[in-house]
Structure 1
Amino acid sequence: MNRRSILQRTAALPVALALAGCSAPGTGTDGTDERTDGRGNEVPGTGDESAGSVPIPMLEDPPDAVYLPGHRKSMRVLEPIAAGDSMVAPMLTYPHPFWVVTGTDRELVEPADDRGIHLMLVCWDPETGVVLPGDAEPRVTITHDGDEIASRRLWPMLSQEMGVHFGDNLSLREDGTHTVSVELPPLPTRRTGTLAGRFTDGGTATFEFTYDQAFREDVVDGFELLERERWGDRGALEPMTDGDGETAMPAEIPYSALPPADEYPGTRLVDPNADPATDEPPRSGDAAFVVTLLEPGSRLADGDDRYLLVSPRTPYNRVPLPTMSLRAVVERDGDPVVDSLELPETLDAEYGLHYGASLASGRQGDSVTIFVDSPPQATRHQGYETAFFEMEPLDVVVPPA
């Protein structure tokens, strides 16, 4: 949390927001607004309607798992642009809270200013549609009438609606046309298959957007409150890939969903204590783990070795969990075969973002323990901020053929 100075305040939206299906908020004796979340908890407000803001619903005691937030965001999608080997889709919405992760700690970041935007970038490979992970944080520089407004690297982020992307809140002093220069650094993530040797030089791009009253009203108009009884329920919002207009991602912008578990080749490793009738991947910290042992001679393995592929993902939308640190221990008949196998983060066009390494020996009945030495370091949007932290070792076995 030393990378950037962070100011915290009440998360807010312009007062033009219509609280669909909600009664008007009351005012407490201390002058603050009294609102409640879906669990009956009070949501503090600014108490100053002249500031033109009302609070975004925040849960005081969300579950330690993926959950439904109280609202769905609205955004404006700009035309995708090329930046080196990558395509970049800029998206804009209102400033809102998020959580920065450092190790196993998280810290709430609230907007420093109501007047501004939350800028998001989705970066992907135009040849395969694979969304790039969070290892290469783009730098954005915003100017207005020739004056520099801000220059910073964007956070790698996880969002239920947006999947893997980069973003941050940015304060804007004046209305008008703003120019954004984007610098993508080289991608340090290990790349295999058709992605090997690509994204080594980074890239640059420039786009413009207009920030004015029409924009503010537009993004607020699309703000949607969920039914109160659903706030905090286990589940996730659907990806923002359906629908028409400026509040949904066009079809050409990919969502970072991984393949379903049954589409991975090789031998899927299973939890020996799970009900054999279920086909769900085992979980740790509410993350689903697809673990498969590819056949000898796989293109991902060294020589005739097998390849241990571990694909952690969110439990509902199959969003990959980037920037983790994983290792595996393999035992046979109670004796160690591999003491500690590091599983580097890897990007593959066919299998997506995963963690994997060659394994010289792996056979039926072997026990494999996956250790999570570091949980996903991506910044979290609401609904993900409490999940993927307490990640116990995952014990799986190689089942009979």
Structure 2
Amino acid sequence: MHRRTFLRRATVLPATLAVAGCAAPGTGTDGSDGSTDGDGNGDEFRDGAGTAPIPRIEDPPEAVYLPGHRKSMRVLEPVAAGEYALTPMLTYPHPFWTVTGTDRHRVEPTAGRGVHLMLVCWDRETGIVLPGDAEPRVTIMRRGERIASRQLWPMLSQEMGVHFGDNLTLPADDTYAVSVDLPPLPTRRTGSLADRFTEGGTATFEFTYDRAFREDVVEGIDLLERERWGDRGALEPMTHGGDGSANAALPYSALPPAADVPGTRLVAPDAEAGANAGSLPSSGDATVVVTLLEADSRLADGEGRYLLVSPRTPYNRVPLVNTSLRAAVRRNGTGVGDGSLELTATLDAAVGLHYGRSVANIGPGDSVTLTIASPPQAARHQGYETAFFDMEPLELVVPPA
């Protein structure tokens, strides 16, 4: 499909302020998939009416899937905020899904001028992207007047990984100043991160919103082949800025491959006999790496072996932030220890974000039931908004020594 043909036929989405976050275009109110006839030709966004043509996917699977396009965005220079580093990004506003418990809600942007502001929060020393529980507050100023002030939402994106974002309405073409306030990182930290991010940080940066910006983000939209829309899969991570320069490098929150996660790998019961050998457990289309480390591991507290649970997206290994998990150990059908135990979100420079705790009296042959008490409480970009909801418990076994 040629670009001009697509622009004539695609639905156009209003581009400014919504309540918060970003996520997925879904089926239109008329049931269309975004390829029905329409009047949008892309000029509405360039001229400031605030629309950008992006495809809608009809009946996406309840799993990670390919959206119809890659976003175009402007990546700004990284800025320091105390021990934090921030990489700001700007694109056109678009619909998003918020998540509360197991409920998701689509929020449409309203008409007018605006941007979708995103921040990747990371550590310069280790390069690790920080999780979504230290939500930054941004204040937008124009010529000394405050335009908006709000807390950004933690988000999951195939291209950007874990980040924070929101749609922002803007009154006019101009240069805007943004101040960012970050709280101390509440996540448990281990290893080289143990004593860091105990204080918050502040940062400032500027961006220009004008016709040239609008042309760039619309002209930069990259359409996938129509036949691939909605297929199982994921877009590749965007690891550089739009200009490809090294100083616009964009950190990405990929977790280590399963083979690099330390400890004894727990397996499904039928894997003991060789069935599904090497495969990883999955729930709600999330891949879950589960290992058991010795009591003297730096991750453990000395009270027992450390149970490490690392849920991630199935293609790009993005950590499933703000998830609640519990574990119960059984031996010969009888519960061991204190019953169902809550796992603690933990950030480690080598292992990344995971959920874990020390468990006393656990050994070969014991079974472990992992229960996902709540799915990732993060807003979603297109391709993630239908996944990671119907997450059934996982039954695993500690293999023989």
TM-score, normalization by structure 1: 0.88
The one of 222, 231, 234 equivalent to 2:232 is: 234
Q: Secondary structure at the match of 1:273?
A: helix
**Corresponding position: 1:78 with 2:76:** yes
Match for residue 262 of structure 1? Answer: 259
Structure 2: distance between partners of 1:159 and 1:42: 21
Which deviates further from its counterpart, 382-391 or 358-367? 358-367
Q: CA RMSD in A?
A: 2.3
Structure 2: distance between partners of 1:222 and 1:252: 18
**How far apart are 1:26 and its partner, in Å?**
8.8
Match for residue 183 of structure 2? Answer: 185
**CA 215–61 in structure 1, closer or farther in 2 if over 3 Å, else same:** same
Q: Is the 8 A contact 1:241 1:250 kept in 2?
A: no
**How far apart are 1:45 and its partner, in Å?**
8.0
Look up the equivalent residue of 2:3 and give its one-letter code. L
Q: Is the 8 A contact 1:193 1:348 kept in 2?
A: yes
Look up the equivalent residue of 1:294 and give its one-letter code. L
**How far apart are 1:19 and its partner, in Å?**
2.6
Structure 1: distance between partners of 2:69 and 2:245: 15
Q: Secondary structure at the match of 1:194?
A: helix
Query: Could you list the per-position Cα deviations for residues 364-390 of structure 1 after superposition, in whole angstroms to 9, with x for gaps in the alignment?
Result: 111000001111001100000000000
Q: Secondary structure at the match of 1:67?
A: coil
Look up the equivalent residue of 1:322 and give its one-letter code. V
Structure 1: distance between partners of 2:259 and 2:356: 18
Look up the equivalent residue of 2:203 and give its one-letter code. A
Match for residue 171 of structure 2? Answer: 173
Q: Is the 8 A contact 1:65 1:387 kept in 2?
A: yes
Q: Secondary structure at the match of 1:390?
A: coil
Which deviates further from its counterpart, 278-287 or 266-275? 266-275
Q: Is the 8 A contact 2:9 2:38 kept in 1?
A: no
**Corresponding position: 1:295 with 2:294:** yes
**How far apart are 1:253 and its partner, in Å?**
3.1
**How far apart are 1:271 and its partner, in Å?**
1.2
**How far apart are 1:115 and its partner, in Å?**
1.3
Match for residue 19 of structure 1? Answer: 3
**How far apart are 1:277 and its partner, in Å?**
5.0
Look up the equivalent residue of 1:313 and give its one-letter code. R
Structure 1: distance between partners of 2:283 and 2:33: 31
**CA 362–248 in structure 1, closer or farther in 2 if over 3 Å, else same:** farther
TM-score, normalization by structure 2: 0.88
Which deviates further from its counterpart, 282-291 or 218-227? 218-227
Q: Is the 8 A contact 1:77 1:248 kept in 2?
A: no
Q: Is the 8 A contact 2:155 2:381 kept in 1?
A: yes
Which deviates further from its counterpart, 189-198 or 312-321? 189-198
Match for residue 310 of structure 2? Answer: 311
Match for residue 345 of structure 1? Answer: 345
Match for residue 164 of structure 1? Answer: 162
Match for residue 270 of structure 2? Answer: 273
Identity, in percent, stands at 68
Could you list the runs of 5+ residues in structure 1 that have no partner in the other structure?
A: 1-17, 28-35
The one of 241, 250, 256 equivalent to 1:253 is: 250
Structure 2: distance between partners of 1:98 and 1:291: 31
Could you list the runs of 5+ residues in structure 2 that have no partner in the other structure?
A: 12-26, 46-50
Q: Secondary structure at the match of 2:212?
A: helix
Match for residue 116 of structure 1? Answer: 114
**How far apart are 1:197 and its partner, in Å?**
2.2
Match for residue 380 of structure 1? Answer: 380
**How far apart are 1:246 and its partner, in Å?**
3.0
**Corresponding position: 1:151 with 2:137:** no
**How far apart are 1:232 and its partner, in Å?**
0.4
Q: Is the 8 A contact 1:76 1:247 kept in 2?
A: no
Match for residue 5 of structure 1? Answer: none
**CA 45–336 in structure 1, closer or farther in 2 if over 3 Å, else same:** farther
Structure 2: distance between partners of 1:382 and 1:352: 24
Query: Could you list the per-position Cα deviations for residues 43-101 of structure 1 after superposition, in whole angstroms to 9, with x for gaps in the alignment?
Result: 37875768554542122311000000011001111010100111000010111111100
The one of 43, 53, 63 equivalent to 2:61 is: 63
Q: Secondary structure at the match of 2:159?
A: coil
**CA 240–103 in structure 1, closer or farther in 2 if over 3 Å, else same:** same
Structure 2: distance between partners of 1:145 and 1:92: 20
**CA 45–356 in structure 1, closer or farther in 2 if over 3 Å, else same:** farther
Structure 2: distance between partners of 1:321 and 1:42: 28
**CA 85–325 in structure 1, closer or farther in 2 if over 3 Å, else same:** same
**CA 311–138 in structure 1, closer or farther in 2 if over 3 Å, else same:** same
Match for residue 102 of structure 1? Answer: 100
**CA 177–54 in structure 1, closer or farther in 2 if over 3 Å, else same:** closer
**CA 142–279 in structure 1, closer or farther in 2 if over 3 Å, else same:** same
Structure 2: distance between partners of 1:63 and 1:26: 21
Structure 1: distance between partners of 2:106 and 2:8: 27
Q: Is the 8 A contact 1:297 1:304 kept in 2?
A: no
Which deviates further from its counterpart, 195-204 or 309-318? 195-204
Q: Is the 8 A contact 2:295 2:301 kept in 1?
A: no
**How far apart are 1:245 and its partner, in Å?**
4.0
**How far apart are 1:114 and its partner, in Å?**
4.3
Query: Could you list the per-position Cα deviations for residues 345-374 of structure 1 after superposition, in whole angstroms to 9, with x for gaps in the alignment?
Result: 111111100000001122111100000111
Q: Is the 8 A contact 2:10 2:55 kept in 1?
A: no
What aligned pairs does 1:18-37 form with structure 2 within 5 A after superposition? 19=3, 22=6, 24-25=8-9
Match for residue 393 of structure 2? Answer: 393
Look up the equivalent residue of 2:210 and give its one-letter code. D
Match for residue 367 of structure 2? Answer: 367
Which deviates further from its counterpart, 328-337 or 298-307? 298-307
Q: Secondary structure at the match of 2:3?
A: coil
Matched positions, count: 373
